[in-house]
Chains A and B, each alone.
Chain A
């Protein structure tokens, strides 16, 4: 039998979720192995180097670069204020001295006798790393961060915008096919992770932002609506740093598309629990997909055993999602895996497979146009 690898998104009712929470530069870790932490707990903190501001001091003083060091009134490491004199020329008989002033507050980073430039380092910026999920600290990397672990339900979305957020999981509609409209958003959803099955409309997103909803999770979104939310057309799918006041995650793709029944049912079973979400998506080297994590009290051992191993293998019976038109979004299972490439309607010759759809009908699609529904 032919074996082929196909990428897929993870939808797991119960798994062990492990997340590395690292500082961008070394700092202090505030937790110890074995500690229980909440999602918003600060587990590590540090200070990032301040901005660098160059001052062409020799040029300002009208001297050669090599003449600058003895004319400096401040030395490396000294604190300075904006506008403070940092160097002064000798002048003529002590008169008509010219001065070089600091253009920013900070410390003197370096003084160059080769170029006559003084570099100022601005004040440091504090950075805190929070736990992100409620769980147990299972590993501490000194000065770097920690690993948090928890049994959890875990769902990978296909695309998202906005960064990390958390809140109680709230269902906006009981149907996986129903689009999310503004009418379904209420002020009671403030701080919540709200999900619905169909497409998130522009009006619903606007209403959710106004109501202070932490995150929206839906099946699809229209490109035009995303453009409105972001204020620009997204060229490359590298997201997560948008400052739009909400995190948006879609599980299926762009357009009017319903959330996979399995994903929707799983979310429905978790309503009321605390969910941690991250919209960051990077569809480039080292792909990152958005995540929805719902910590659980415990994890069944069966789901642990199923992790890894057959991940990525296409076999007869494997559940798949078709991810390109004309059958975009349909779900089914692999019913045939022909070895020889076949002709497509486009005229291309490609390796294909046959999918038995959930309604019992069978369609043939390129192997490249399906993804596994991993569990």
Chain B
């Protein structure tokens, strides 16, 4: 069997070829081409055809017909063409939604979770208590041009007045859909079922295409996001995709419904967490946005940081983080004025790639800040259901740390998966490895892997029609284990003893030593090699067993190895500029990040 899969991103369209070889599915070739949703071409299928044409050149198989369409071969045939063609899409800005709920921390947050989980970018969340006055909310609704709107509010059998009030604000504001013209704005109601009649009356005008699904918060203690998510996917295909340039053709070409890219990535990560019974965080850093996915204790969360990305949004990352924060990761001499112009040039010509060593170092510094900001947003969002009575200790009440109350606990994180251009295409595995550790600051013992060539979206949609093929490719070709990070939680004192460690393999001690605050040590451990790592932190530092208590974990090698990190959590930099640069240069050297640091 021969499967062609594409992912139409906002910048590039990525194609992969999957073949069944000796009874096992393997990913064999990949190619990419600029996405072509914009003028003058304004037809996504041109980029798709270009990427598959490149796949054809690399593989030697004829996959594209003279008229630009994808060649399909008859069942059982060994000739030209492919048997299955599937695609995901985030081009055209992806799926952009506005959500609304009665209480910001409860139904509105559940609505946001449903939209994000379905792969949408949430442009704004309107709630009765969002601290905006009604006319300000109406003004905001009028300014937005969403692809669709999701309204929730009220538990089933609970108060219905507030959600009707919300609907009464939204309807006269007449939000204009992004595609304009004859397009009727899809609106999904997933709130108190007792007021469905009122909602139908309010949105009966011609401008809306209303659909009603089960309440996504039927009781305070229960979240039921499935029906809303499914309806969002349906509406995405029926309304949004059908209006994007060239998608009417693409929909006809595919063997399975086109999925929003992040929805597909979420599906495959949930499958891993389920299969391996682990807690996972996955990141996909794109040109315009950064998507964060987490599965902790079986609970899935996704966030999209809409303006944190490496091309369209690169300037915003620098503006939001501050150039000083970006440059703290750089160990080379760089002229700030020149860098600012380079950032803007990348923003206006988003498809370019770094050609020089300096450009790469700077781009990876920006990526660290984009990831750090996106992860902070994710942790703040991924919390337990609010509105449910919980017992809190006095200690909890006074905890004010970032991500407090988040279910994404770095100490419980088992696997961190990196994907997206800047991570997947980094020239050396060491770059991705250190970039992930610097940005996410994992604590305790954490495995780090990367999506080899960003094929999680392809596999997410493939899983919907051929689970075996998706899982086989995922295990063999998609995930590349990079290694492990062991880092104690707590503030270190720079230059003072922080921890000692011992890495013991099947044939004895591989490495052992002690580290001072501000240092780390990389120990190479080959792919598949098993070992046990014991870390003994100093007083006040915690490896998961309690402050100052030793902890150990069985680990397996990867493309990089094991990094024992005594830089502290949160990660600490020397305050002096020259000392900071010296420290960063030593990290870069210790982790062998660049061939010529």
**A interface residues (Cβ-Cβ under 8 A, vs B):** 2-7, 10, 24, 49, 51-54, 65, 109-110, 112, 114-115, 117, 119, 121, 158-159, 222-224, 226, 233-237, 253-255, 281, 283-288, 308, 311-312, 323-326, 328, 339, 344-350, 365-366, 368-369, 371
Contact A54 B312 (CB under 8 A): no
Residues from chain B with Cβ under 8 Å of A324 in the complex = 345-346, 349, 352-355, 359
Contact A349 B427, CB 8 Å, known A237-B312, A237-B315, A285-B37? yes
B36 at the interface (CB under 8 A from A): yes
Q: Which of B40, B342, B426 has the most CB of A within 10 A?
A: B40
Q: Cβ of B345 and Cβ of A233 under 8 Å apart?
A: no
Point out which of A119, A233, A234 has the most chain B C-beta atoms below 10 A from its C-beta: A233
CB contacts under 8 Å to A, within B9-33, are: 10, 33
Rounded to whole Å, the gap between the CB of A295 and the closest CB of chain B is: 21
Which of A237, A288, A326, A348 is the one whose CB lies under 8 Å from B347? A237
A348 touches B427 (CB 8 A): yes
Q: What is the minimal beta-carbon distance from A212 to any residue of chain B, in angstroms?
A: 27
Q: Are A223 and B428 in contact (CB under 8 A)?
A: no
B contact set with A: CB distance below 8 Å? 10, 33-34, 36-41, 46-47, 50, 53-54, 57, 91-93, 134-135, 138-139, 160-161, 164-165, 168-169, 172-174, 176, 198, 245, 288, 307, 312-313, 315-316, 318-320, 337-338, 340-357, 359-360, 425-428, 594-595
**B residues less than 8 Å from A283 (CB atoms):** 312, 347-348, 350
A residues less than 8 Å from B357 (CB atoms): 345-347
Question: Is the Cβ of B341 less than 8 Å from the Cβ of A3?
Answer: no
Having A119-B168, A371-B349, one finds 14 other A-B pairs with CB under 8 Å, namely A5-B34, A51-B135, A54-B138, A54-B168, A109-B172, A110-B172, A114-B164, A224-B340, A236-B312, A253-B345, A287-B39, A325-B355, A344-B356, A347-B595
Which 6 pairs, one residue from A and one from B, show the smallest C-beta to C-beta distance? A235-B316, A347-B427, A285-B93, A287-B38, A346-B360, A255-B341
Check A323/B345 contact, CB under 8 A, given A3-B53, A114-B198.
yes
Choose one: A117, A226, A284; the contact of B168 (CB below 8 Å).
Answer: A117
**Are B315 and A236 touching (Cβ within 8 A)?**
yes
Please pick, from A236, A253, A287, A346, the residue contacting B356 in the complex, using a CB distance under 8 A: A346
16 A–B pairs (Cβ distance < 8 Å), ordered by A: A4-B54, A6-B34, A54-B138, A114-B161, A115-B168, A223-B340, A236-B313, A254-B345, A285-B93, A287-B38, A311-B40, A324-B352, A324-B354, A346-B357, A348-B354, A349-B427
A interface SS class: loop
Most chain A CB within 10 A, of B50, B338, B427, is at B427
Assess the A223–B161 pair: CB atoms within 8 A: no
Residues A366 and B46 in contact in the complex (CB < 8 Å), given A255-B345, A283-B312 = no
Known: A236-B307, A328-B345. A51 touches B92 (CB 8 A): no
Q: How far, in whole Å, are A348 and B344 apart by their CA atoms in the complex?
A: 22
Q: Are B57 and A112 in contact (CB under 8 A)?
A: no
Known: A222-B337, A223-B343. A253 touches B348 (CB 8 A): yes
The CA-CA distance from A318 to B92 in the complex, in Å, is 28
Contacting residue for B349 out of A158, A234, A284, CB 8 A: A158
B135 with A53: CB separation less than 8 A: yes
B162 nearest CB neighbor, chain A only: A115
B320 and A235 form a contact (CB under 8 A): yes
In the bound complex, do residue A366 and residue B353 qualify as a contact, i.e. CB atoms below 8 Å apart? yes
Distance of A347 Cα from B597 Cα, bound (Å): 12
Known: A110-B168, A114-B198, A369-B355. A284 touches B347 (CB 8 A): no
B36, B46, B138: the one contacting A51 at CB < 8 Å is B138
Chain B residues closer than 8 Å to A284, beta-carbon distance: 10, 93, 288, 312
Inter-chain CA distance A259–B93, complex, in Å, is 31
Inter-chain contact A348/B37, CB cutoff 8 Å: no
Q: How far is the CA of A311 from the CA of B160 in the complex (A)?
A: 57
Which chain B positions have C-beta within 8 A of A54?
134-135, 138, 168-169
Task: Report the Cα distance A285→B286, complex, angstroms.
Answer: 14
**For B36, what are the chain A residues with a Cβ–Cβ distance below 8 Å?**
5
Q: Are A326 and B313 in contact (CB under 8 A)?
A: no
B138, closest chain A residue (CB): A52
B425 contacts which chain A residues (CB < 8 A)?
Answer: 348
- B359 A325 Cβ-Cβ under 8 A: yes
Alpha-carbon distance A236/B172, docked complex (angstroms): 30
Which of B46, B164, B355, B595 touches A112 (beta carbons < 8 Å)?
B164
Note all chain A residues with C-beta closer than 8 A to B92.
285-286
> In chain B, what residue has the closest Cβ to A308?
B40
Residues of B near A3 (CB, < 8 A) are: 53
Nearest CB on B from A242, distance (A):
16
Quote the shortest CB–CB distance from A338 to chain B (angstroms). Answer: 12
Return the contact of B342 from the options A65, A325, A369 (Cβ within 8 A): A325
A121-B172 contact in complex given A5-B50, A287-B38, A311-B40, C-beta closer than 8 Å: yes
A6 to B92 Cα, complex, angstroms: 18
Query: Is A368 a contact partner of B312 (Cβ separation < 8 A)?
Result: no
By beta carbon, the residue of chain A nearest B49 is: A5
Known: A285-B10, A324-B345, A324-B349. A344 touches B164 (CB 8 A): no
Q: In the bound complex, how far is the Cα of B312 from the Cα of A281, in angstroms?
A: 12
| Chain B positions within 8 Å of A223 at CB level | 337, 340-341, 343-344
Q: Is the CB of B319 within 8 A of A235?
A: yes
Give the contacting residue for A326; candidates B169, B316, B349, B356; CB below 8 A: B356
Give Cα distance in the complex from A109 to B202, angstroms. Answer: 13
> Which residue of A5, A52, A222, A323 contacts B172 across the interface (Cβ within 8 Å)?
A52
Q: How far is the CB of A261 from chain B (nearest CB, A)?
A: 20
**From A4, A51, A224, A349, contact of B337 by CB (8 A):** A224
> Are B344 and A254 in touch, CB under 8 angstroms?
yes
Cα(A344)–Cα(B426), bound, Å: 12
**Closest B residue to A22 using CB positions:** B180
| Chain A, Cβ-Cβ closest to B348 | A159
Which B residues are in CB contact (< 8 Å) with A323? Answer: 345, 349, 352
> Which residue of B is nearest A329, CB measured?
B345
Distance in Å: Cβ of A78 to nearest Cβ of chain B: 16
Question: In whole angstroms, what is the CA distance A296 to B134 when docked?
Answer: 51
- In the bound complex, do residue B313 and residue A2 qualify as a contact, i.e. CB atoms below 8 Å apart? no
A328 to B245, CA, bound (A): 31
Min CB gap A288→B, angstroms: 8
What chain A residues lie within 8 Å of B165 (beta carbons)? 112, 114-115, 117
Q: Is the CB of B135 within 8 A of A7?
A: no
**CB-CB < 8 A to B350: which residues of A?**
283
CB pair A222 B341 closer than 8 Å:
yes
CB <8 Å contact, A348 and B360: yes
Docked Cα-Cα span, A2 to B58, in Å, equals: 11
Give min CB distance, B346 to chain A, whole Å: 8
State the CA gap A54–B167 with chains docked (Å).
13
> Please, how many angstroms separate the alpha-carbon atoms of A348 and B135 in the complex?
52
Q: A323-B352, A324-B349 are contacts. A235–B168 as well, Cβ < 8 Å?
A: no
Tell me the nearest residue of chain A to B176, going by C-beta: A24
User: Is B93 in contact with A254, judged by CB distance below 8 angstroms?
Assistant: no
